[in-house]
Amino acid sequence: MTGTLFTLGMGPGDPELITVKAARILAAAPVVAFFAKAGQRGHARSIADSHIAATAEELRFDYPITTEMSHRDGRYVDAMAGCYAAATETIAARLERGENVALLCEGDPFFYGSSMYLFDRLRDRFPMEIVPGVLGMSGCWAEARLPMTYGDDVLAVLPGTMAEADLRRHLEGADAAVIMKLGRNLPKVRAVLTALGRAERAVYCERGTMVGSRILPLAEIADDGAPYFSMILVPGRQRVR
């Protein structure tokens, strides 16, 4: 009998925002797998720290590239595909010998998560269970005390890596927005929000729910880039009821 791959959403950063189900599965897992930037412990691994059994085998997969080049660059695509393929076979070896594996994922597994690429490769080979997690954006707007959508407001979730024209087009069709993957794209995002008259109500969130979080009006943030765990929240129409 083969093992089951449990893909666990670890939430936005605060360890107390792990679901009860994820914590239960994690505590019983004989094998725990996670991705991390080379030289760092790994965000998902840090969140899960108190729930991992001392006897569990840990499978760490280092990203060969993070933000050093565009995700559209062929070299990035090839490097990441190789990373995911190697991780897939390492996990498959444990599953084939009947061991359950808990794969950790920041936020929710099916929302911009690396775990999706392993899911696609393993879904037809082994039993699987996906445990959803609290999204980073919901952690940020809760900490910012910023209600986002009222009534029939339309919410757009957009990567800051989009071309300026595409970003503007999507924002024009939405009442509220979450803009992720800021980094070097912050000046471009700010310019679009300013042009649409939405910069004044935009809120910048960095490391939401984590130690050292920053929640500030976008106007108070300089244009010299933003870290990976940051986003901009633009609330909806905020109608009175």
- What pLDDT tens digit does each residue of the chain (241 aa) get? 899 999 999 999 999 999 999 999 999 999 999 999 888 889 999 999 999 999 999 999 998 866 555 556 667 678 888 999 999 999 999 999 999 999 999 999 999 999 999 999 999 999 999 999 999 999 999 999 999 999 999 999 999 999 999 999 999 999 999 999 998 899 999 999 999 999 999 999 999 999 989 999 999 998 887 887 899 999 998 766 5
Q: Which residues of the chain form CATH 3.40.1010.10?
A: 5-134
* Helix/strand/coil (H/E/C) assignment for every residue in the chain: CCCCEEEEECECCCHHHCCHHHHHHHHHCCEEEEEEECCCCCHHHHHHHHHCCCCCEEEEEEECCCCCCCCCCHHHHHHHHHHHHHHHHHHHHHHHCCCCEEEEECECCCCCCCHHHHHHHHCCCCCEEEECCCCHHHHHHHHCCCCCCCCCCCEEEEECCCCHHHHHHHHHCCCEEEEECCHHHHHHHHHHHHHCCCHHHCEEEECCCCCCCEEEEHHHCCCCCCCCCEEEEECCCCCCC
Q: Which residues of the chain form CATH 3.30.950.10?
A: 137-234
* CATH no. of 5-134: 3.40.1010.10
Class of domain 137-234: alpha beta
